[in-house]
Each structure stands twice: as C-alpha cells, then as structure tokens.
Amino acid sequence: MRRDHAEEVHEHDRGLSHDLPVLARRRMIRLVAGAGLIPLVGCSSQDETAAAPSSKGSGSASPSAGCATIPDETAGPFPGDGSNGVNVLKESGVVRSDITQSFGDSAGGTAEGVPLTLTLTVVDAASGCGTPKKGAAVYLWHCDREGNYSLYSDGVTDENYLRGVQETDDKGQVTFRSVFPGCYAGRWPHIHFEVYGGLADATAATSITSTSQLAFPKDVCDTVYASDGYEASVRNLSGLSLETDGIFSDGYDRQLAAMEGSVARGYTATLTVPV
C-alpha cells in the first residue's frame, strides 16, 4: 500500500476524523465510571543536558491508590496485525526483544536513531494493579526516525523493523530494544501496543485484550530531536502538545512513560499497563 509523501503524512493515524469516534467512546466510559475527575498530569518543559536527568511519567502504579485499565486507543492505519491486510504477527521471527532490524523475507534494513529501551509491566487491574500478568503477550510497533511505518510507508514497504512480540515474564514485564521514534505531522510522539492473553493468541492475531498507546514527555522529545536525523521532528513537534493531540488530549496521565538517560547513552522508558 503505497502513498506519496503528502498523502502519507496526512494519513498517519488518519487524524481527528478517524480518532474522534474513539475519543467519544473513551469520554463516555470515563463519564460513566467517574474517571473524568482525575486531574491531568502535565509534562516537564525544563531543558535537558547531554546527561539528562529522569523525566517522570506514569511508569508505575500504586495498588493502594486504586487502579484503572490502560485507556483503549485506536491502533491506527498501520498496525500490521492483519486487521487491514498486512500481518506480521504470523511471520517467523516476530517474537523478539530487539526490534531495530527487519527479519524474515524483508529487505533486511536497520532503523537508525537514538537508542531506546522500553519496558512495559502488564498487571491485573482487577487486583488493584498488584498482580503481574505472567504469560501475557505484547505486540509493539512504532514509526522510525523519519516518521515512517514499516510495511506501509513509501520507501519502507519491504521492511518490517520496529515491530515485535514478547511474552511477559514472572514480573509481567516485556523489554524491547528500539530507537526513539520521530514526530510526524499531526501526532504527538508515541508508541502503539496490543496486549494479548498469551503468546499463541498474539502470533495468531486473535483475542486482543487491550490496544493502547504510550506517550513521551516533551523535555525528552526536545532533547532527542535536537540530534542528527530528527530535523523534521523539530518542525512537526513545534505545533503540537499533549493537550491538543487527537489521542492524548482527553487524558494521558496513565500513558506517559517515565524516562531516564541521554542522547549519548540512550534512553530507557517504563510504563505500567493495567489490563
């Protein structure tokens, strides 16, 4: 599925016209549950040096503070999970921790960018977030440094990098090695993920438990995008905010990653995912 550049930028996650129905459903659910009273958590705007301090997000959840499931979000138009014709989940090699390289019969390319290690901790919301979901599975994907999605975007349709599946360990955790995604026009920098009941469900692309997105703090984005290769992201990010993003504008407190690191050493991002 090829598009010229102008169409591709416009179609990334299809913008508000595609996402508004999802937002409406989320707002209704929150109103019914009374979750609309939860205050929004802003992201830091302080400058970072090369040895950046940690950027606080919703990386962990406190069982004593109560627990709500991770907000359900659109998978966007480029999931690669078979829902729109392209299915990477059934390909041998998709179960992996390092997602920087393409695999199988792909062109064999490598995604370049600032190193990113991402750990998601999947927990049982019904138990107050105190019980890890051992043996669940997570399918994670995101755009590359240029804002392109493998399998879909013009120029990388023969690649399948920045996509991978893992089974959660005894702590309910999966860790992926990747690169910091770029910022394309119209969307705040993010990562998509789907949670499945188990590895067999994930590789069969059936029985999705949850579909959501992870957001990045602004201070980290500003620092990363000042490095080589992210020039277009500086321009695209300048007109965006978490508060006006089509997905995160109705609340991102449970989707904002906690981050540590620097451009030189790479970054780590963590997020607790109650399901």
What would the pLDDT profile of 109-123 be if each residue is shown by its tens digit?
A: 999 999 999 999 999
What phi, psi does 126 have (nearest 5°)? -65, -25
Tell me the per-residue pLDDT of 145-202, one tens digit each, with 9 for 90 and over. 999 999 999 999 999 999 999 999 999 999 999 999 999 999 999 999 999 999 999 9
Helical segments of the chain, H only: 5-11, 15-33, 199-204, 218-225, 231-238
Alpha carbon 82 to chain centroid, angstroms: 18
Give the span between the Cα atoms of 42 and 254, in whole angstroms: 12
What proportion of the chain, given as a percentage, has pLDDT over 90? Answer: 74
Sign of CA dihedral 123, 125, 129, 132: negative
Reference 80, options 143, 168, 10, 17; nearest CA is 143
Tell me the per-residue pLDDT of 53-103, one tens digit each, with 9 for 90 and over. 456 565 544 443 468 999 999 999 999 999 998 899 999 999 999 999 999
Residue 27 predicted with pLDDT over 50? no
* The pLDDT of residue 59: 58
Under the banding of pLDDT at 50, 70 and 90, the label for residue 26 is very low
Using alpha carbons only, give the angle 99, 103, 105 rounded to the nearest 5 degrees.
155
Alpha carbon 89 to chain centroid, angstroms: 17
R_g (Cα) of the chain, nearest Å: 17
Residue 20's Cβ-count burial label (10 Å; 0-12, 13-18, 19+) is exposed
Under the banding of pLDDT at 50, 70 and 90, the label for residue 264 is very high
Give the span between the Cα atoms of 250 and 245, in whole angstroms: 9
- Calculate the average pLDDT of the chain: 83
Under the banding of pLDDT at 50, 70 and 90, the label for residue 141 is very high
Query: Which residues does residue 195 pair with via DSSP β-bridges, in sequence order?
Result: 138, 210
Is 0.75 topped by the overall pTM? yes
Higher-confidence residue of 73 and 37: namely: 73
* The pLDDT of residue 33: 34
The half-sphere exposure of 15 on its side-chain side, counting CA atoms within 13 A, is: 8
DSSP 3-state of 113: coil
* The pLDDT of residue 66: 62
Residue whose entry in the numeric block shows the structure tokens 């041998």: 92
- The answer to whether 121 touches 132, Cβ cutoff 8 Å, is yes
Higher-confidence residue of 84 and 1: namely: 84
DSSP 3-state of 87: strand
Give the span between the Cα atoms of 206 and 226, in whole angstroms: 40
Residue 274's Cβ-count burial label (10 Å; 0-12, 13-18, 19+) is buried
Give the span between the Cα atoms of 272 and 275, in whole angstroms: 10
Reference 162, options 184, 193, 123, 188; nearest CA is 193
* The pLDDT of residue 107: 86
